[in-house]
Structure formats: structure tokens, C-alpha cells
A = this chain, B = another copy of it.
Amino acid sequence: MARTQEAGQDVVVTENREARGPFLVVCEHASNRFPAAFGTLGLSPRARTAHIAWDPGALGVARRLAQLLDAPLVAAGVSRLVYDLNRPPHSAGAMTARSEDYDIPGNLHLGPDERLRRTEAIYLPFHARLRAEIARRLAAGRPPVVVTVHSFTPVWFGKPRTVEFGVIHDADPALALAVVAEAKARTHLDCRLNEPYSAADEVTHTLRLQATPYGLANVMLEIRNDLIADPAAEEAMATGLAPVLKAALAAISRQPEEKAAP
């Protein structure tokens, strides 16, 4: 039976706004909802539940991680095929016409008016809400650590992927390196840096837009979706990763003192 998961009926959903922990969790590909205003893009029901439409399991992990870390969660409420919130408006991938071996009929030959409509209806509100959550914490003197949660398909163009947990960084690798070290020490996951993608694949837009300008520690997590295929697996993954993130943050917070020691 096809799986769906929705953060809600809005373009962006925020949970745990009053959380007091140091992390802020983001899930750009949380939902495979196709709002009526944009239609179903000519896609079959099967395509609309496939990994091209969303990151299956990512919302469940992100939501539970946010609870365990006492963190706010900002999640998308719209399929990435309508607008991929981890891509800037001038990127072909923002409203992609093809994903893996699927054509996206409703995204072929998009004119500037429709690109603008989706940008204004989805991209701008999502990133404004995320910016507002970050700014609230900055104004309170508590700069948040930004963690984006994604999932990836175990098979890509027919080729199996063996990596289970990918940790991706943009300009500042500090937290990503610490997460890899702690994941290797604390879990049995096959954990790799900058796999199955890296910043060179233009997959770190949210980090660049929201974390780097404020000098916030940040990391993008990619979990193979067969490992989070039901709520119990999502729960187990979040329970395993929460201490990894806490330990990684503690490790990078200690470093300046260690460096300063004689």
C-alpha cells in the first residue's frame, strides 16, 4: 500500500516553537502532498508516492528527533515536485521536469509566471518562516544549530546504494565531521561523509541560505529510506541519532578551548 506522510495542510509547518534546546530541525522534503492550486502535475498515484515526490520517512525521523533534542521543527507541507525547497528559484531542480527515470509532465515548459507563482506561494513562505525561527533565537542570544533531515532511495537508476547514513556539509564541515565520528562510535550504520551527494551537487541550498550567513553550525543528514520504512523504524533511527547529534555538538563546542590550551 502506498505510503504518504503529511506535515499538515499548509505550505510550511512549525512544531515545538517554544523548544529550548540548541538544535533546530528542518525537513524540506517532508510531504508528498499536491495542493489543489498546483494539481498533480500529470503524475500517476504511484509516482506521487515514490521517492521522487518526497523523502519517505524523513518527517517521522525529523519530528521525533526534534522531540528528543527539545528542538523546533520546520517542515514542508508540499511535494518537492511542486517546489523543491532545497533549491533556489533559478535552479532547474526547483521545479524539475525529470527525476530519476520519471518525467514530470506538469513541470515541462514552465513559463516565468508559473515559476514565480510557485516561488511566491511555497519557497518564500517556507524560508521566511524558517528565517523567523532562526532570528527569534538569535535575538535571544541563542544561535541555533541547523540540522536538515533527508532520506534517499536505496536504488538509483537500478544501482543499489550501500551507504546507510550520509552526512553532508557545505562551507563549514565542523559539525558534519563530528557527526560522522560519533555515528561511527555510537551506531552500526554505514556512515559516510558527503554521500550519496555533496554540496557540489547543489543539495545544500538551505544550509547556504539559512545557516552560513549567520555563522551557525549546520549539517545535512541523509538516511537510506529502507531503514525508516515504518513508524517503529523511524523511532528507532531518531533514538539512535539524537545522542549522536548531542555528542557531536559537544565535541565541536569543546574544540576552541582545547585548541587554546598550552
A92 to chain B, nearest CB (A): 10
Q: In the docked arrangement, what's the CA distance between A136 and B120, Å?
A: 8
A158 CB within 8 Å of chain B = no
What residues of chain B lie closer than 8 Å to A205, measured between beta carbons?
213
A154 to chain B, nearest CB (A): 31
A124-B131, A128-B131 given. 16 additional CB < 8 A pairs?
Answer: A88-B138, A88-B214, A89-B135, A89-B138, A89-B139, A90-B143, A115-B140, A116-B136, A119-B135, A119-B139, A123-B135, A124-B128, A128-B128, A205-B213, A208-B213, A209-B213
> C-beta contact mask, A118-159 vs B, less than 8 Å → 1, else 0?
111001100110011001101111010000000000000000
Known A132-B124, A138-B90: A213·B214 in contact at CB below 8 Å:
no
Q: In the docked arrangement, what's the CA distance between A131 and B209, Å?
A: 11
A112 CB within 8 Å of chain B = yes
A14 CB within 8 Å of chain B = no
> In this complex, what residue of B is CB-closest to A142?
B90
Q: Are A141 and B112 in contact (CB under 8 A)?
A: yes
A212 CB within 8 Å of chain B = yes
**Interface band, chain A:** 20 to 34
Q: In the docked arrangement, what's the CA distance between A140 and B127, Å?
A: 19
What residues of chain B lie closer than 8 Å to A118, measured between beta carbons?
139
In the complex this chain forms, how many copies of it are found? 2
A122 to chain B, nearest CB (A): 11
What residues of chain B lie closer than 8 Å to A90, measured between beta carbons?
138-139, 141, 143, 214
What residues of chain B lie closer than 8 Å to A112, measured between beta carbons?
139-141
A176 to chain B, nearest CB (A): 18
> C-beta contact mask, A172-202 vs B, less than 8 Å → 1, else 0?
0000000000000000000000000000000
A103 to chain B, nearest CB (A): 22
What residues of chain B lie closer than 8 Å to A141, measured between beta carbons?
90, 112
A31 to chain B, nearest CB (A): 21
In the A-B complex, list the 9 residue pairs whose CB atoms are closest, starting with the nearest.
A89-B138, A90-B138, A89-B139, A119-B139, A115-B139, A209-B213, A116-B139, A208-B213, A112-B140
